[in-house]
Amino acid sequence: MLEGKVVIVTGGAKGIGRHAAITSAREKAKVVIADINNELLERTSDELGRVTETLALTVDVRNEDDVKKMVEQTLNRFGQIDVLVNNAAIVPHFAWGIPRWPRIRDMEKAFWDRVIQTNLGGTFLSTKHVLPHMESRRTGHIINLYGGGGLKPAGACAYMVTKEGIRTFTRYVAEEVRESNICVVIFSPRVPIATEGAPEEALQRLPGPELLGNAFVLAAQLPMQQSGEIFSYENGRLVNEP
């Protein structure tokens, strides 16, 4: 289904990003994983390299030069970009039982900036720099990640500001590029996921990324009429979320 396509996954060295990369590789896509963690990047790259052609890049999605180089290196290696998965994010993972983030009154501006610039800014920069290539080919899929966080107890504000911003960003970009045949959607895991680094108790209690099955492969094939929409994965298929 994705054979011969080129997929970029930001934050692709671990967790949900790694799952998106692996499931794309199994469908014979060529996979680019971009991450800030070099150790995990090398490990995941070795794993993917046994399945498909892979390019591993050290990228800080907050840095526009890094993102531009990511796109340039992908094009130099593979000649095209068909799918972008904007997964890189700072996630609170409160469901793991770890300490909650500060309330806004107690939050350092540097922490706020880091969350906003990684989650929302990284989605913006990666989208910005793949779009000219996708528009020139008049084809492409962009999949942005959404996550939830409760109003109470406090702590989720910075994260949810980025995720609600990404929902709005997706809707608007989808309309900007609709005539260029680029499908831009949101994917929501819907439930908390335990990934590498989670406490053992959370790993036992919560599902892992495998719960998401082939969701990213399916999202990379959505038709244009569903651009701008939000999806989750259920019983082997994508379903629309309100």
Supply the DSSP symbol for 98: P
Residue 32 lies in a domain: yes
Q: What is the Cα–Cα distance from 45 to 47, expressed in whole angstroms?
A: 5
Domain residues for 145? 6-240
> Degrees (nearest 5) of the Cα angle 64, 155, 234?
75
Q: Per the residue annotation, which of 146, 159, 172, 233 is the catalytic one?
A: 159
CATH number at residue 115: 3.40.50.720
Q: What is the pLDDT, as a whole number, of residue 242?
A: 82
Q: What is the pLDDT, as a whole number, of residue 197?
A: 87
The answer to whether 161 and 116 are in contact (CB under 8 A) is yes
Q: Which of the four pLDDT bands, split at 50, 70 and 90, describes residue 149?
A: confident
Q: How many domains does the chain have?
A: 1
The pTM of the full predicted model, rounded to 2 decimals, is: 0.97
Q: What is the Cα–Cα distance from 164 to 170, expressed in whole angstroms?
A: 10
Among the listed residues 96, 90, 118, the one whose alpha carbon sits nearest the alpha carbon of residue 192: 96
Residue 195 lies in a domain: yes
Residue 1 lies in a domain: no
Query: Residue range 177-187: average pLDDT?
Result: 98
Determine whether 6 is exposed, middle or buried from the number of CB atoms within 10 Å of its CB (0-12, 13-18, 19+).
buried
pLDDT single digits (tens) 26-77: 999 999 999 999 999 999 999 999 999 999 999 999 999 999 999 999 999 9
Q: What is the pLDDT, as a whole number, of residue 17?
A: 98
Helices (H) and strands (E) in the chain, counts: 8, 8
Is 146 an active-site residue? no
Among the listed residues 150, 158, 222, the one whose alpha carbon sits nearest the alpha carbon of residue 187: 222
Q: What is the pLDDT, as a whole number, of residue 148?
A: 86
Q: What is the pLDDT, as a whole number, of residue 207?
A: 94
**Count of C-beta atoms within a 10 Å radius of residue 201:** 11
Query: Residue range 178-201: average pLDDT?
Result: 95
Q: Which of the four pLDDT bands, split at 50, 70 and 90, describes residue 136?
A: very high
